[in-house]
Amino acid sequence: MADLDDFMMADEVPGEAPRMPGPPPLPARSSLPDLTNLDAGLPANIDAEKTILGATLLDNSAHSEAAEVLEPDDFCLDSHRRIFLRMSELMDEQRAVDIVTLSHELSRHDEIELVGGVAYLASLTEGLPMRPVIADYIRIVKDKSLLRKLMLICSAAIQRAGDRSSTAMSVLEDVEGQMLEVAQKAVSGNLRSVANSVEIAGGFDPYLKPIINAEVQQGMPTGFVDVDRVTGGLRRGELIIIAARPSMGKTAMGINIAANCALDQGAVVAFFSLEMTRQALEKRLLASNGRVNVRRAMSGEFLSTMEKEKLSEALVRLVESELYIDDTPAMTPMQIRAKARRLKQKCGRLDLLVVDYLQLVTAGHRTENRRIEVEICSRAMKAMAKELDVPVVALAQVGRSSEQRTDKRPVLADLREAGGIEQDADIVQFIHRDSYYNRDEEMSEAERAMTEIIIAKNREGPTTIERILYIAPFTCFMNLARGE
């Protein structure tokens, strides 16, 4: 058998050419262009492909192992793609896969001659043991497939850059999206037993420590102790939705959490503001952290010496932190992911990603309606959290339906107007202030500041209502117990 890492050229395989000028290719399962467009030889290992197909004919269980990782498009030769596809269809119908059934299925689709006939199917099992081990061959075929896809992406990018029909940013965004798609199709985690997880953790004690030891913080604290007690903080890989009606303090909550994590936990935080400008956010940050009236700070009114000192001290802390703000409007999930990935590479880590707010993120392509577009963006946010291994806090706007009820508190059903946010999120929190609806002049300042954090969904814990304070002049939230 040839070296498993050989480059296979088209003319090295008699009667089988990857470029195939004759028979039509199988229906594409991806948006990538046809492999036959490249003039150079393609990365491939034909022997590994034949071994996988032959192993399936000898032992049908081999197909399940292969199908967990491979798709028909991962095979370089058209004949092998057709064979694997028909094998998959037979397996889906719970029928046996052997030379007789496979040749019949190929004949039924007028493909038997295209794959080399029954003689070629019989040759696939030559020299193989009755139960061949194919894990290494699967890895090789997948690796060569990914290399071919990378070549195609780069080739298409060079062509687009050369004909000058697209802007540089447009080409870069498309390439990043296609590269991400290829990366997601790489061989990754498989089914794993609890024993494997314990072994990876380093034994029983390290595995159980975060579960049975209450002192071990499972997630990064947001700074709001009562809420963290219920939710466990900000866990990596989770999507946390913080939703409210307009003017309830969504942005204030998002920027407070970002600042608390960056300043108190030394976290690397990326804040994507699709609504407010960087300048407005930075002024809010200064005012809230310096405890200076935000209206006075933003309008340029006369500030006392003490207020100026507070703002200077707050600025020193913020400058020393690793809080990064991007105020590009109408970003797509792909753009947010790319920028977050670059920041993670630059800093060596990324601890928190905040998006303000979800309904302003665009899918980047035409959708049937706005609801579906929000669904796509919500799903992308969850995928981003898992891919980057970072908690993603996405702020969201609640529909008007809550204001039509006697009890104005938002509920999960109010999010259904905005796509599949409820299904994708690990935690859903609503911000509700009764003072927003109750204009009673006799209400005290403490009562006006009272804010409910309604934890309506919590995968890892209970749903409940916790209370904190909203200090409007500083546009910041504080713990109720301390009130400082």
pLDDT reported for residue 12: 39
CATH code where residue 336 lies: 3.40.50.300
Confidence check: pLDDT of 21 > 50: no
pLDDT tens column, 267-319:
999 999 998 888 888 888 888 888 888 777 666 667 778 888 888 888 899 89
pLDDT greater at residue 74 or residue 171:
74
The reply to whether 176 and 229 lie within a common domain is no
Confidence band (pLDDT; 50, 70, 90) for 416?
A: low
User: At 33, which amino acid appears?
Assistant: P
Q: Which of 32-41, 43-52, 182-191, 211-220 has the highest mean pLDDT?
A: 43-52
Confidence band (pLDDT; 50, 70, 90) for 39?
A: very low
DSSP state of 114: T
Asked if the structure places residue 1 within a domain, the reply is no
Confidence band (pLDDT; 50, 70, 90) for 372?
A: confident
DSSP state of 242: E
pLDDT reported for residue 185: 65
pLDDT reported for residue 350: 93
Confidence band (pLDDT; 50, 70, 90) for 175?
A: confident
Catalytic residue annotation: 275
The reply to whether 162 and 224 lie within a common domain is no
Asked if the structure places residue 393 within a domain, the reply is yes
Confidence band (pLDDT; 50, 70, 90) for 206?
A: confident
pLDDT tens column, 214-235:
555 578 999 898 898 899 899 9
Strands 450-458 and 464-471: antiparallel
Confidence band (pLDDT; 50, 70, 90) for 32?
A: very low
Confidence check: pLDDT of 464 > 70: yes
Whole-number Å distance between alpha carbons of 111 and 44: 23
Asked if the structure places residue 415 within a domain, the reply is yes
Confidence check: pLDDT of 171 > 90: no
pLDDT greater at residue 462 or residue 164:
462
pLDDT reported for residue 427: 92
pLDDT greater at residue 212 or residue 229:
229
Backbone angles phi, psi at 45, to 5 degrees: -140, 95
Cβ-contact 346, 321 below 8 angstroms: no
The reply to whether 260 and 372 lie within a common domain is yes
The reply to whether 39 and 125 lie within a common domain is yes
Coil, strand or helix at 177:
helix
pLDDT reported for residue 332: 84
Mean pLDDT of 457-472: 88
Whole-number Å distance between alpha carbons of 186 and 146: 7
pLDDT reported for residue 284: 86
CATH code where residue 98 lies: 1.10.860.10
Domain span including residue 33:
10-184
Q: Which helix (H) or strand (E) holds 140?
A: helix 135-163
pLDDT reported for residue 187: 52
Q: Could you give the percent of the chain with pLDDT greater than 90?
A: 30
pLDDT reported for residue 395: 93
pLDDT reported for residue 36: 41
Whole-number Å distance between alpha carbons of 439 and 409: 16
Backbone angles phi, psi at 213, to 5 degrees: -100, 110
Relative orientation angle of helices 194-201 and 204-212, to the nearest 10 degrees: 90
Closest of 388, 387, 364 to residue 376, by C-alpha: 364
pLDDT reported for residue 240: 94
- Residue 184, Cβ density class (10 Å: 0-12 exposed, 13-18 middle, ≥19 buried): exposed
Residue that finishes a domain, picked among 141, 162, 184: 184
Cβ-contact 467, 449 below 8 angstroms: no
The reply to whether 21 and 124 lie within a common domain is yes
The reply to whether 98 and 238 lie within a common domain is no
Least confidently predicted of 98-102, 233-237, 393-397, 446-450: 446-450
Confidence band (pLDDT; 50, 70, 90) for 4?
A: very low
Mean pLDDT of 89-106: 91
Q: Could you give the percent of the chain with pLDDT greater than 70?
A: 85
Tell me the DSSP string of 451-484.
EEEEEEEETTS--EEEEEEEEGGGTEEEETTT--
pLDDT tens column, 342-353:
888 889 899 999
Confidence check: pLDDT of 184 > 50: yes
pLDDT reported for residue 14: 36
Whole-number Å distance between alpha carbons of 377 and 370: 11
HSE on the CB side for 311, CA within 13 Å? 19
Whole-number Å distance between alpha carbons of 254 and 222: 10
The reply to whether 330 and 433 lie within a common domain is yes
Asked if the structure places residue 3 within a domain, the reply is no
The reply to whether 171 and 225 lie within a common domain is no
Radius of gyration of the chain (CA): 28
